[in-house]
A and B are shown apart, each in its own frame.
Chain A
Amino acid sequence: MAVTVLLAAVASREVFTNSFLVRFKRSLRHEEAQEVALHHGFDNLGPVLGSDTDWHFAHRGLPHARPRRSIAHTRLLKQHPLVHTAIQQTGFKRVKRGFRLLRVPEPVPAAEPRDPYFPLQWYLKNTGQNGGKPKLDLNVEAAWAQGYTGVNVTTAIMDDGVDYMHPDLKYNYNAEASYDFSSNDPYPYPRYTDDWFNSHGTRCAGEVAAARDNGVCGVGVAYHSKVAGIRMLDQPYMTDLIEANSMGHEPHKIHIYSASWGPTDDGRTVDGPRNATMRAIVRGVNEGRNGLGNIYVWASGDGGEDDDCNCDGYAASMWTVSINSAINDGQNAHYDESCSSTLASTFSNGARDPSTGVATTDLYGKCTATHSGTSAAAPEAAGVFALALHANPSLTWRDIQHLTVLTSKRNSLYDAKGRFHWTMNGVGLEFNHLFGFGVLDAGAMTALAANWRSVPPRYHCEAGSVNTHTEIPSEGSVTLRIETSACAGSGSEVRYLEHVQAVVSANATRRGDLEFFLTSPMGTRSMILSRRANDDDSRDGFTKWPFMTTHTWGEYPQGTWTLEARFNGGSGPSSASGWLRGWSLVLHGTRAPPYAQLQAQDPNSKLAVVKKAHEDNALSK
């Protein structure tokens, strides 16, 4: 019966209860009302809000909820000489704010995917295969067990094409959102070469959305999501317009864009998106996904320790989620390029041992177990975000970044060379220069996404600048301070930080020897530029380059910010000289506490820690 009621209710939209509001022409005593009720077959449930003219009657012969008005019963009441009006009450749906039924974890673990390559997919389920660390994985099974598999989410792979005829991909392929910019047609099938060079997009696509239980290759992170192919890397040149058109292609059909490319990772390039591409990204973030904003996932780069992805304007952008990689035992990969703009990490190969690569689909219906590089890490993140969007399709681009910060895990990630340690920022969020806030945890992210309340509006505050020219000493360092109220009292006040940008101009006889550190008022120190051994530029330097850090996420920006510049000669002292030609500080974040409306289920969760910090801070003021 519940089913019929429900169906009928859906059809007519209104639900009528068995309750009636009866208004009498004069005041009634309880007994009088009782008598009227009984006489017509009703129960008298008492006066309404202490009134003696308005009474609440219920009819036992009527169901609790029905789709149509019970005219007969209404008329019956109205016929009584004392009754002024009788109104049958309609039912409303009310949901408790900020409360969802606790999702009971499935008592029996869901059966494992039966795909032949699944046992090789240690990044999905690390059982210690290939010498990995058990449980160091994306925790996707937890998300799958909650029922999230990426339904109705499309991820575009901006790459060298996708083998959309691959049996593991063909039914998860979103043809109408795909395009081939390299040969200008709607079919981004890869171009053949003898070395199968153009297999990259296909491999990335498989990581996101390879079908489950079909006996082919492995399974994608979001195996019910769809992938679109955007073929844009396969011409001997690259243009701003190809990039821009790729990143702005079908922004309402495509939810997530995954990119595993960027400026040359030779450790001496400082470059980023050009005019049209920048516009495309801004437009995607502001307007894409019908206003919620597209998610751009970016591989931080393969430049190794001699490069810094803050010199890559794509990865360093606030509008991209820059993803670094860890290998199967928790070390950073040797090719990892680190920077303070990295938000989180996923997994890729150990590179020395091909058998620890990423297992996924390959060209011409084949499979591979050797996909590698940070290139392999970005699509995993795209897959996890697809799961989060399945759990909650109304997440904005910023919600995704907040969720990433709150649910990524330190797990057992560590710097193999012991250079970068895990550090707590001012509101208790642990970060590492190499890994951002840690490795993505799909289960934690979908669980929080399902209960998420969109974060409050974001403001941009130009917090101040120093325009003097200051020489950088050959030994020691120079520090420049900006004291800021974070635009307090103005319309753009920022009280809780998201991204912070230090826009720096500097010249040096050897740019690669420069190192910059930004310290927040709460004492969090971000290395916003690391030494780049191969960068011998002496001419260009940095001209108002926006270095970005995510490390101060959630902190309060008021107070003194410090930029420290120094030379690092590597093994010996640097012979470089140079000038800091000024810097300015731009703060981005919210005025309202971002997590005030969220319920922290676990008192030890990062959400609970930050929320508590924000509450305590508000009280102390």
Chain B
Amino acid sequence: MGLREVLVLVISIVGTMGYIPHGSIGEKDPILTEALLREVVERMGKDFNDAASTYLEFPSSDRHLAMMARANKELEHEQLDYDSLIEGNPSPSLRDQEYLQHSSLWGHQYVTGGAGEGEQRLQPSGIVPNRQMIKTDAVLPAYCNPPNPCPVGYTEEQGCISEFENTAAFSREYQLAQRCMCDGEHMFSCPPDSSSDLDLRFADHHKNLVAKKYKPDIENPYLMGERLPIAAKKGFDVHVY
């Protein structure tokens, strides 16, 4: 097989996967990426839930519990909340302690902020305008991992790297060595068929939500038009093979 055939093959495999696998950890199995992520998230969640004692919920009084635990899944269905509380039993709270209480929330979450919001200017010169970004839990792909240089007082035994140069070039090269999803919104170019932008669209069953919440996604010119069949200068392992 010539180089070109390998290239085509790899691209087609990758294409069927929906997004470019997160190579640094899952070189062979693209499913691993998501599996790993879920595992990480679950593990974090487990720690968290284990630690979360029940005291945040209101003690004893069911009506109170009802109000405060609106975020609690079991009670969510029962529509217990402020109403049920105030109807009957405005009994005193414990003093000087805060309790959970919030409106019922459901569905996926969409968050903006950081440099992805408003008008901001990037780079020291301020010449690069920022781009609008919305983060959501509706999809779960992953980007490359940045380098982990050793902070002052840390050594390599602690899992960081000491041979490090604090430059953009160093980080770029470091991330180049990984196979991961190209961040089409923030890289000036991505390899062809890198389907990152597709992943950031929303799955069919969220269509209503998307339609309700979003103006058409036209802010990012890089996502528009036909993708050019130029091999990227950076960011994709395929052309090294």
- Residues of chain A touching chain B, judged by Cβ–Cβ distance below 8 Å, are 159-161, 163-166, 170-171, 173, 175, 178, 180-187, 189-201, 233-242, 244-245, 248, 259-266, 268-269, 271-276, 278-280, 282-283, 285-286, 299, 302, 313, 318-319, 335, 351, 354, 357, 362-375, 457-462, 464-465, 467, 487, 490-492, 503, 537, 542-546, 582, 584, 586
Contact = CB atoms under 8 A, between A and B. Distances in A.
B contacts with A: majority SS: loop
Given A192-B168, A276-B48, A460-B93, 5 more contacts: A170-B151, A235-B143, A260-B114, A263-B109, A357-B126
Please indicate which of the listed interface residues B137, B139, B164 has the most CB atoms of chain A within 10 Å of its own CB.
Answer: B137
Given A269-B213, A364-B166, A369 B83 contact: no
Interface stretch (B2-10, B84-92, B223-231): B84-92
Given A191-B175, A354-B126, A491-B95, A275 B71 contact: yes
Contacts of B56: 279, 282-283, 286
A228 to B, nearest CB: 11
A175 B154 contact: yes
B218 to A, nearest CB: 14
A544 B70 contact: yes
Given A241-B41, A459-B95, A274 B187 contact: no
A466 B85 CA distance: 12
Contacts, number: 320
B119 A286 contact: no
Given A263-B110, A462-B90, A545 B200 contact: no
A236 B90 contact: no
Given A265-B117, A278-B71, A467 B135 contact: no
Given A192-B172, A235-B142, A272 B95 contact: no
Interface string B135-147: 1111111111111
A199 B115 contact: yes
A274 B49 CA distance: 14
Nearest to A457: B96
Contacts of B41: 239, 241-242
B149 A192 contact: no
Contacts of A185: 145, 148, 159
15 contacts: A163-B166, A186-B158, A191-B145, A192-B146, A195-B186, A236-B135, A236-B200, A238-B110, A240-B109, A242-B44, A262-B113, A263-B111, A269-B213, A283-B52, A302-B117
Contacts of B121: 354, 357, 370, 372
A544 B104 contact: yes
A584 B95 contact: no
Given A272-B105, A546-B103, A196 B128 contact: yes
A299 B144 CA distance: 28
B221 interface: no
Nearest to A165: B166
Please indicate which of the listed interface residues A198, A374, A458 has the most CB atoms of chain B within 10 Å of its own CB.
Answer: A198
B102 interface: yes
Please indicate which of the listed interface residues B41, B93, B153 has the most CB atoms of chain A within 10 Å of its own CB.
Answer: B93
A202 B120 CA distance: 14
Contacts of A503: 82, 103
B14 to A, nearest CB: 17
Contacts of A372: 118-121
A262 to B, nearest CB: 6
Interface residues of B, number: 101
Nearest to A397: B98
Contact of B152 (A170, A242, A275, A363): A170
Given A354-B126, A362-B124, A492-B93, A335 B118 contact: yes
B122 A184 contact: no
B45 interface: yes
Contacts of A263: 109-112
Contacts of A313: 102-103, 105
A462 B68 CA distance: 12
Contacts of B83: 465, 467, 544, 582, 584
B96 A459 contact: yes
A368 B148 contact: no
Contacts of B133: 197
A426 B189 CA distance: 59
A261 B142 contact: no
A183 B214 CA distance: 28
A189 B118 contact: no
A349 B194 CA distance: 37
A458 B200 contact: no
Contacts of B189: 194
Contact of A363 (B103, B136, B148, B168): B168
Contacts of A282: 56, 98-100
A418 to B, nearest CB: 23
Given A235-B143, A245-B48, A273 B102 contact: yes
A53 B142 CA distance: 86
B130 A272 contact: no
A261 B112 contact: yes
